């Protein structure tokens, strides 16, 4: 086996933060020799730069953290390596995962394949593009507020955000223990099923002959971009021939979660990032966080960190936010049970990929709109609920921007969601 056949020789600008060297690839291949029967069948993967890969920088998309070089793999990486995957490199992202455009000041923007003036989404933009352009078979990302779902939708590929806590979270530079999880991108649903089975040891649930019951949250279909609306409505029309679609009022759950989102992330990210900074810079946590805030490259991320330093979230605000999340999770479980729903289905984002260089604002339905709340409008709620979310690409003409639809299931019913997704994917693609 020659490591050169697994090397990315012509990397797309902005997609990678570090490529595996010949030596790094050879070490991986040597470890696989006892189990390899077909050299050509060895699958490759990319890993988001905030997930630990032994010997590569866990920069989290920030040059100031390039000194953080793990000596062991994060468990999600180790599981896939053991199963025969080879890591081709680490991928670019929105710096520190604190955004959804992957416009990174240190490593460059991650551009949408085929539409280079547009964002590939984030924060796991590099991983999504590495799969979409065919550089690797699969890629790992992380998701706090939609960071797997959004780039999967923008890039027209499949993305799985597991239930929070179902996949091991060690070895990851994250933002929120309440919301974070690693996830995976692939070009087909079967690959998602394989990866999930490798990491969890669980296989997909058996198919049921019963007709699916899918909830359609009315609030998540409001104020859609005309292109997104047209593509999603056509998909729902096709889906209605194979499933029972039930309109549900999602307002009570959204109301409980809206005010909790920011306090939770700012409280938890400060502590998680301070811990990483303390170890990387050999400083006390507070000093490490201040050093990180001073040296991050992306202005929007620096602004967030400095805001947290200037006006930290209070313990009472954080406790109140956690109570709201627990109440919303209970309400979500009751909603699914009341309507006997297998999952919810809704457009992943209200609009397709935005133009790069928008500086935080995009035009939506003729009006300026802040990019972050617009593009996380449909995804953030599920991450607060800790629910599994699986994004499917919908059919669009080859010259049109991709549009994705997300299936959201009950917490820890990921295997069932993967089975449901196969039926929905077939229906929408017909």
Residues identified as active-site: 48, 123, 147
Question: Residue 308 CA to chain centroid, in angstroms?
Answer: 24
Q: What are the tokens at 149?
A: 């779902």
DSSP string, 372-430: HHHHTTTTHHHHHHT--EEEEEPP--TTSPP-EEEEE--TT-HHHHHHHHHHHHHHHH-
Burial pattern 51-88, b for ≥16 Cβ within 10 A else e, equals bbbbbbbbbbbbbbbbebbbeebbbbbbbbbeeebbbb
Closest CA to 221 of 335, 372, 351: 351
| In contact, 130 and 46? CB cutoff 8 Å | yes
d(CA 394, CA 156): 7
Q: Are 61 and 19 in contact (CB under 8 A)?
A: no
Which stretches of 49-166 are assigned E, i.e. beta strand? 86-91, 103-104, 108-109, 111-112, 115-119, 138-143, 158-161
- 3-class state of residue 92 by DSSP: coil
16 neighbors 89 (Cβ within 8 angstroms): yes
* CB 403 within 8 Å of CB 429: no
């Amino acid at each position: 086996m020659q490591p050169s056949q697994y090397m990315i020789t012509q990397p797309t600008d902005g997609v990678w933060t570090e490529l595996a060297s010949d030596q790094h690839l050879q070490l991986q291949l040597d470890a696989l020799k006892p189990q390899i029967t077909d050299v050509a069948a060895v699958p490759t993967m990319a890993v988001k730069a905030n997930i630990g890969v032994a010997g590569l920088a866990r920069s989290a998309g920030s040059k100031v953290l390039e000194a953080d070089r793990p000596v062991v793999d994060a468990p999600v990486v180790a599981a896939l390596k053991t199963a025969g995957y080879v890591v081709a490199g680490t991928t670019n992202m929105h710096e520190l995962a604190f955004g959804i455009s992957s416009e990174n000041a240190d490593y460059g923007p991650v551009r949408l394949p085929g539409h280079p003036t547009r964002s590939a989404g984030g924060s796991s933009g590099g991983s999504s593009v590495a799969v979409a352009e065919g550089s690797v078979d699969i890629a790992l990302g992380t998701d706090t507020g939609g960071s797997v779902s959004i780039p999967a939708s923008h890039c027209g590929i499949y993305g799985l955000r597991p239930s929070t806590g179902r996949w091991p979270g060690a070895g990851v530079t994250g933002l929120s223990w309440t919301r974070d999880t690693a996830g995976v991108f692939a070009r087909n649903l079967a690959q998602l099923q394989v990866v999930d089975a490798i990491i969890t040891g669980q296989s997909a649930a058996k198919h049921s002959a019963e007709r699916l019951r899918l909830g359609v949250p009315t609030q998540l279909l409001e104020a859609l971009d005309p292109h997104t609306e047209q593509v999603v409505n056509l998909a729902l029309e096709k889906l209605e021939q194979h499933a029972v679609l039930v309109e549900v009022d999602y307002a009570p759950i959204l109301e409980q979660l809206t005010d909790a989102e920011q306090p939770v992330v700012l409280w938890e990210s400060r502590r998680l990032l301070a811990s990483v900074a303390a170890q990387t810079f050999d400083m006390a946590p507070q000093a490490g966080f201040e050093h990180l805030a001073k040296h991050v490259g992306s202005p929007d991320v620096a602004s967030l960190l400095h805001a947290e330093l200037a006006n930290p979230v209070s313990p009472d605000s954080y406790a109140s936010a956690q109570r709201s999340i627990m109440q919303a999770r209970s309400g979500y479980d009751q909603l699914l049970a009341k309507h006997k729903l297998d999952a919810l289905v809704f457009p992943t984002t209200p609009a397709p990929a935005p133009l790069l260089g928008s500086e935080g604002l995009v035009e939506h339905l003729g009006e300026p709109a802040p990019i972050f709340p617009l593009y996380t409008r449909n995804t953030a709620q599920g991450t607060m609920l800790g629910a599994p979310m699986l994004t499917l690409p919908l059919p669009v003409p080859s010259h049109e921007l991709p549009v994705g639809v997300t299936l959201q299931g009950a917490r820890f019913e990921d295997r069932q969601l993967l089975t449901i997704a196969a039926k929905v994917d077939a229906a929408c693609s017909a």
